[in-house]
Structure 1
Amino acid sequence: MKAEHLPSWKNMPSVKGARQGFAWGLFDKDGVKDQLGTINLLTPEVVVRAREEIQTGKSVALNWGLNRLSQETFGRSVLKHELVNWREKPGFTFYSWDDEISINTQTGSQWDGLRHWGDTKTGLYYNGYHHDEVTKTDQLGVENWTKRGGIVGRGVLLDYASYAQRKGIKYSPMSDHAITVAELEDVARESGVTFLPGDILLLRVGWTKWYDEHSEEDREKYVTNAYAWSGIKGCEETLEWLWDHHFAAVASDNNGVEVVPMDADWRLHDFLLSGWGMPMGEMWDLEELSRECERQGRWTFFLTSAPLNLPGGAASPPNALAVF
């Protein structure tokens, strides 16, 4: 289904067993349950249009270092990386090293996949799979993004951190500072951005910058042992704005996209991941992207992301690039 054929937020059809505003069934085709959600909006026409953003050939990588989150949060393990020396293997004469890596995909730059989060009120994942059954099927794994050619389209950066600095808005990324729709619209207006259906929305709040600049003691206090981070306000106005703009995906440099603590009634994770099948990117490195946007005087670019081809995966590093 193309964006122009989708109902508005206020006209979303009711879905049996789901909360109002869920998009289950809208992207189904020929009686087959959809597994891609809003990624369906990245049609060939949308991708071809996005290539117009490539004007200078400058590219910026958007992955934060896999080793950056240095302490366990919510009991999630951090990166384990070992180099294997082939010179020490009996009978081998090669000069060679291998990597052995163990990661939790939630502890660095990531796309939250459709197996990552179920609706908090019902335990149902996108298109109606229950928590107890979703991993017993071959549905909703991140490999579906690879099968359809990755995530490619026009990226749009809303640089709230720079906007707040200009406006004299004082906040810490490690606080429950909620960003409203009115502010998002104002950032877009000042940046000269006009949204298009299928855009991939990126929001910079300064979370990874704060983390990189602070001590282990501060990180432990405000990340490992805290639960308050700045992000988009969870409310119906935000959901209507996100849906009616028909974004294909949304990502941020913070730990959750939405403000934390989350609103129990309007939790964005519940609606975006479970309700719409919209990938949510977290802890992306948007610092150099912000600087490049300032240098070029534009906040739109060609964006390509190649998630892991991991059958049944719940999330993935984005392996994302912005190309100007």
Structure 2
Amino acid sequence: MATDARPARLTPAEFDTLYRRLAGRAAEGDGGARTPARVLAATREVRTGRTVTMAAPVQTAPGPDDPEPARHRMSQWPGRSGESGSGLHFAMDRFAMNVHGDADSHIDALCHVIYDGTLHGGVPAGTVTEGGATALAIDAAHDGIVGRGVLLDIPRLRGVPWLEPGDHVSADDLGAAERAQDVRVTEGDLLFVRVGHRLRRAELGAWHVARARAGLHPSAMEFLAERRVAVLGGDGNNDTAPSCTDGVDFPVHVLAIHAMGLYLLDYLQFEDLARACEEERRWSFLCVVAPLRLPEATGSPVNPIAVL
């Protein structure tokens, strides 16, 4: 069984070497391209037709991890302005969200990470302006992201309900979880890694996750590169806090989005899916991710659906 020993810190030079290696691998291959053939193959994962959400309910109350929660306001409702109950009326509302907050489920576009003056693939950072992103915006995924999903449950592997803030998931953890769950991550897969963030939040309450949270160690991205996955999703931020990389606060974001060109899904919830996978005795499924069509946005609220 993998342990919760924390891997070593990375120096700037070590991180740069890792970055270049992963970017080089991404450039050599198709980056786990979601081809029609792979989508068609993923449909064979459907056995029962059971559908399960991987999104958490949108938060509208402030908390230590969400000082600027989503705002939901009714703009029209029965009885407003003395309207009578006769005839036709409509209930209407408005919604606003900080897409990249630390509480709500969302997907990061490839324009989200600016590193050393560029976006993924060397696209100039200046393509992101006050008016929005003119390159690599989330609308590039307007046809949806569909493929074989795999959930690797690290707390299950370690025999704990959740990983404690500050703990790391290593490449060895990912491999050990595969063996324990009798599943294998393959090219083009949508990989989801559970650290138990949502369960801990539900049972112990919200905390300042910008200061302390569980996530992947940057070296674990070697596993994703070797398997050529297409997407990475987590029930936390995917990055550990505090960072173990000197000078880089979000090394997994930099490696996944900027170096490898992966869509990254943050703050999902896997409690429902983990329970369903246990009941079905399998950890792979058809997965459908449908971001909103926001032409110049750096991300989107998201509700990924697993179909077992």
TM range (shorter): 0.7 to 0.9
Show the 5 A alignment for 1:214-233: 214-215=204-205, 219=206, 222-223=207-208, 227-233=211-217
In structure 2, the CA distance between the partners of 1:172 and 1:187, relative to structure 1 (3 Å rule), is closer
Do 1:21 and 1:271's aligned partners in 2 also have CA atoms closer than 8 Å? yes
Quick check: 1:51 aligned with 2:43?
A: yes
Q: Do the aligned partners of residues 295 and 201 (structure 1) sit closer, same or farther apart at CA in structure 2, a change above 3 Å counting?
A: same
How far, CA to CA, are the matches of 1:202 and 1:194 in structure 2?
Answer: 12
Q: Which residue of 1 aligns with 2:146?
A: 152
Letter in 2 for 1:163: L
Q: Which runs of 5+ in 2 are unaligned?
A: 1-18
Per-residue CA deviations over 1:5-51 (Å, capped at 9, x if unaligned) read xxxxxxxxxxxxx94532599399xxxxxxxx84x611011101101
Q: Which residue of 1 aligns with 2:286?
A: 302
- Using the alignment, how far apart are the partners of 1:68 and 1:91 within structure 2? 28
Kept in 2, the 8 Å contact 1:125–1:275? The answer is no
For 1:41, the equivalent position in structure 2 comes to: 33
Q: 1:303, 1:322 within 8 Å by CA — same for their partners in 2?
A: yes
Q: Which amino acid aligns with 1:186?
A: A
- Tell me whether 1:262 sits opposite 2:243 in the alignment: yes
- Aligned partners of 1:54 and 1:74: how far apart in 2? 36
Aligned to 1:60: 52
**Which SS does the other structure have where 2:240 is aligned?**
coil
Q: Output one character per residue of 1:218-277: Cα deviation in whole Å (capped at 9) or x when no partner.
A: x2xx326x5111111112xx23221110000010101x2132222336812112111121
Paired with 2:133 and 2:299, the residues of 1 have a C-alpha distance of 16
* Residue aligned with 2:141, SS: helix
Aligned partner of 1:252 in structure 2 is 234
Tell me, what secondary structure is at the counterpart of 2:224?
Answer: helix
TM-score normalised by structure 2 residue count: 0.82
Contact 2:155 2:161 in 1 (8 A): no
C-alpha separation between the residues in 1 aligned to 2:191 and 2:62?
Answer: 27
- Rounded to whole Å, the distance in 2 between the matches of 1:172 and 1:153 is 28
Which residue of structure 2 lines up, in the alignment, with residue 111 of structure 1? 107
Which deviates more, 97-106 or 77-86? Answer: 77-86
AA in 2 matched with 1:242: L
Cα pair 1:24 1:126 within 8 Å, conserved: no
Q: Is the 8 A contact 1:125 1:134 kept in 2?
A: no
Instruction: Indicate the SS of the match to 1:41.
Output: coil
CA distance in 1, matches of 2:152, 2:119: 29
CA distance in 2, matches of 1:241, 1:292: 25
Once residues 284 and 100 of structure 1 are traced to their aligned partners in structure 2, the CA distance between those partners, rounded to angstroms, is 23
On the 8 A contact 1:234/1:259 being kept in 2, the answer is no
Cα pair 2:145 2:290 within 8 Å, conserved:
yes
SS in 1 for 2:218: coil
CA RMSD of aligned residues (A): 2.7
Amino acid across the alignment from 1:184: L
Question: Which of these residues, 272, 282, 295, is aligned with residue 311 of structure 1?
Answer: 295
Cα distance in 2 between the residues matched to 1:264 and 1:133: 28
Note the residue ranges of structure 1 that are not aligned, 5 or more in a row. Answer: 1-17, 29-36
CA gap of 1:124–1:43, structure 2 versus 1, over 3 A, is same
Task: Answer yes or no: is the 8 Å Cα contact 1:24–1:275 preserved in 2.
Answer: no
SS at match of 1:51: helix
Report % sequence identity. 25
Tell me which residue corresponds to 1:22: 23
Residue aligning to 1:34: none
Paired with 2:180 and 2:117, the residues of 1 have a C-alpha distance of 40
